[in-house]
């Protein structure tokens, strides 16, 4: 499969370690090393992704690096990365000396200055669940928040709730990750969500958490959350729901969807695939006037049957949310007491620059 920009990067996370602080200037001081490895196959030899282009590699590296503070070095490896990263092969196969790490820190700082950090990077873009009421409530609650705060909230949905693949964790850990997300949502509600939106925000996040909790994984760990893929117009309190025609084709006419994919994969297939989709919709609705209603009801019926009464894990209920420092210390204490449980998720969380540590 090709790299999806909204992919949950935690499945490629390989660990965090503390290193001896070095760097001559304050801005260059580094004391934490985080590793990500992007391979085209899993440990069993199953293909899980295609090799990324240079543009995709740069975007992925940019998005991941942006999640961490200035004290963190992010190390990338794996055959899934484009040639720009392969030139480093060899030096990453052995521990770096202090001199090499200092040189790398300086190069990393210079490299970051060359990267164009778009203001609307993936971290700040909304992540939607498919539950329109909940999605609009969350979007409304954060529309006047800072970009850092918006990124924090949508990161909960991406990284704690609706992860794309769960193969790197047990089901107990996946449910605990959702519990961590709800505790982060409580922190957000207490810290920066306005009083007028607080209750609606927490109710919406709980609904999305229940949807996540009811999700099922296939043999490769790919998650299915059972509801239609959302297609919205506008943003924030002006978010408007529209039927996702392509997802409706995928769900209700698999043969037509396969043909659509063939057309869109052609070099000049963008316009032809759009025409095909338009013609399909016109013909399908004419043959079956109730098709759209049938498609939309699928989500409502699934939520009523599987999501509404879903119980959430309480693993992180004891974490206090008074302020950033208290929350962070609580997570660190939990990790110390449970070093082999949800380790990659907690290491990533503790290293996020949002916490200011």
Q: What is the pLDDT along the chain (357 residues), one digit of tens a residue?
A: 444 433 456 667 777 776 665 444 444 566 677 788 888 776 666 666 777 777 777 777 877 877 777 777 888 888 878 754 333 333 334 455 566 666 656 655 555 544 444 343 456 678 999 999 999 999 999 999 999 999 999 999 999 999 999 998 999 999 999 999 999 999 999 999 999 999 999 999 999 999 999 999 999 999 999 999 888 988 899 999 999 999 999 999 999 999 999 998 887 788 888 899 999 999 999 999 999 999 999 999 999 999 999 999 999 999 999 999 999 999 999 999 999 999 989 999 998 889 987
Look at residue 92 in the predicted model and tell me its pLDDT. Answer: 38
- On whether the CB atoms of residues 204 and 237 are closer than 8 A, the answer is no
CA–CA dist 57, 63 (Å, integer): 10
Q: Is residue 1 part of a domain?
A: no
Comparing C-alpha atoms, which of 47, 55, 101, 105 is closest to residue 79? 47
Is the Cα torsion angle 339, 343, 345, 348 positive or negative in sign?
positive
Asked if 165 and 278 sit in the same domain, the reply is: yes
SS3 35: strand
Does the residue 212 lie in any domain? yes
- Please check whether residues 49 and 172 belong to one and the same domain: no
Beta strands in the chain (DSSP E): 13-22, 30-37, 72-77, 216-217, 223-224, 232-233, 240-241
CA atoms of 80 and 146, how far apart (whole Å): 34
Cα–Cα distance, 51 to 35 (Å, whole number): 19
Q: Is residue 120 part of a domain?
A: no
The answer on 327 and 301 residing in a single domain is: yes
Q: Which token pair is 319?
A: 């974490």
Nearest-CA neighbor of 38 among 25, 56, 18, 16?
A: 56
Classify burial at 88, counting beta carbons within 10 Å of its beta carbon; exposed 0-12, middle 13-18, buried 19 or more.
middle
Reported pTM: 0.67
3 found inside a domain: no
- What is the C-alpha to C-alpha distance for residues 278 and 262, in angstroms, rounded to an integer? 16
Contact by Cβ (8 Å): 281, 246: no
Q: How many domains does the chain have?
A: 2
Q: 256 in a domain, yes or no?
A: yes
Q: How far apart are CA 238 and CA 269, in angstroms?
A: 33
Contact 201, 185 (CB under 8 A): yes
Count other Cβ atoms within 10 Å, centred on residue 315. Answer: 20
Domain end among 114, 143, 164: 114
- Provide the pLDDT for residue 94: 47
Q: According to the model, what pLDDT value does residue 215 have?
A: 97
Domain range for residue 189?
Answer: 126-357
Q: Are residues 58 and 79 in the same domain?
A: yes
Hey, CA dihedral for 352, 48, 131, 60, is it positive or negative?
positive
CA 287 to chain CA mean position, Å? 39
Task: Tell me how far apart the alpha carbons of residues 317 and 180 are, in angstroms, rounded to a whole number.
Answer: 8
- The phi, psi pair for 232, rounded to 5°, reads -110, 155
Which sign does the torsion angle of CA 95, 97, 102, 106 carry?
Answer: negative
Q: Are 232 and 128 in contact (CB under 8 A)?
A: yes
How far is residue 352's CA from residue 356's CA, in Å, rounded to a whole number?
8
In this structure, is residue 4 part of a structural domain? no
Whether 160 is in a domain gets the answer yes
Burial (Cβ within 10 Å: 0-12, 13-18, ≥19) of residue 108:
middle
Closest to 328 measured CA to CA, from 340, 315, 319: 319
- Domain match, 28 and 166 both: no
- Please check whether residues 175 and 263 belong to one and the same domain: yes
**Position 64 in a domain:** yes
134 and 84 in one domain? no
pLDDT (0 to 100) of residue 116: 40
Residues 199 and 98 in one domain: no
Under the phi-then-psi rule, with left for phi > 0, alpha for psi from -120 to 50, and beta for the rest, what region is 23?
left
């Amino acid at each position: 499969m090709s790299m999806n920009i909204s992919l949950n990067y935690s499945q490629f996370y390989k660990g965090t370690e503390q290193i001896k602080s070095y760097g001559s200037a304050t801005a260059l001081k580094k004391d934490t090393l985080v590793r990500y490895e992007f391979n085209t196959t899993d440990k069993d030899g199953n293909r899980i992704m295609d090799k990324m282009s240079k543009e995709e590699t740069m975007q992925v590296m940019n998005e991941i690096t942006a999640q961490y503070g200035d004290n963190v070095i992010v190390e990338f490896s794996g055959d899934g990365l484009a040639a720009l990263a392969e030139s480093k092969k060899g030096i990453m196969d052995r521990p770096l000396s202090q001199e090499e790490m200092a040189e790398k820190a300086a190069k990393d700082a210079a490299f970051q200055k060359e990267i164009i950090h778009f203001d609307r990077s993936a971290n700040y873009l909304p992540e939607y669940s498919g539950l329109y009421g909940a999605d609009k409530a969350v979007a409304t609650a954060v529309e006047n928040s800072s970009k850092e705060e918006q990124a924090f909230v949508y990161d909960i949905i991406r990284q704690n709730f609706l992860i794309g693949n769960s193969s790197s964790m047990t089901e107990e850990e996946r449910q605990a990750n959702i519990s961590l997300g709800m505790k982060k949502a409580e922190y957000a509600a207490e810290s920066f969500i306005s009083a007028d939106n607080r209750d609606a925000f927490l109710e919406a996040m709980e609904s999305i958490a229940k949807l996540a909790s009811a999700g099922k994984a296939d043999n490769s760990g790919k998650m299915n959350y059972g509801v239609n893929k959302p297609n919205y117009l506008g943003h924030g309190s002006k978010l408007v729901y529209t039927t996702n025609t392509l997802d409706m084709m995928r769900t209700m006419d698999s043969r037509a969807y396969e043909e659509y994919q063939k057309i869109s994969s052609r070099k000049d297939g963008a316009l032809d695939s759009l025409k095909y989709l338009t013609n399909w919709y016109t013909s399908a609705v004419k043959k079956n006037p109730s098709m759209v209603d049938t498609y939309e009801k699928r989500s409502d019926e699934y939520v009523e049957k599987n999501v509404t009464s879903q119980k959430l894990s309480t693993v992180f209920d004891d974490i206090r949310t008074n302020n950033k420092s208290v929350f962070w210390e609580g997570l660190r204490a939990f990790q110390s007491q449970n070093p082999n449980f949800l380790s990659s998720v907690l290491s990533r969380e503790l290293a996020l620059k949002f916490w200011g540590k």
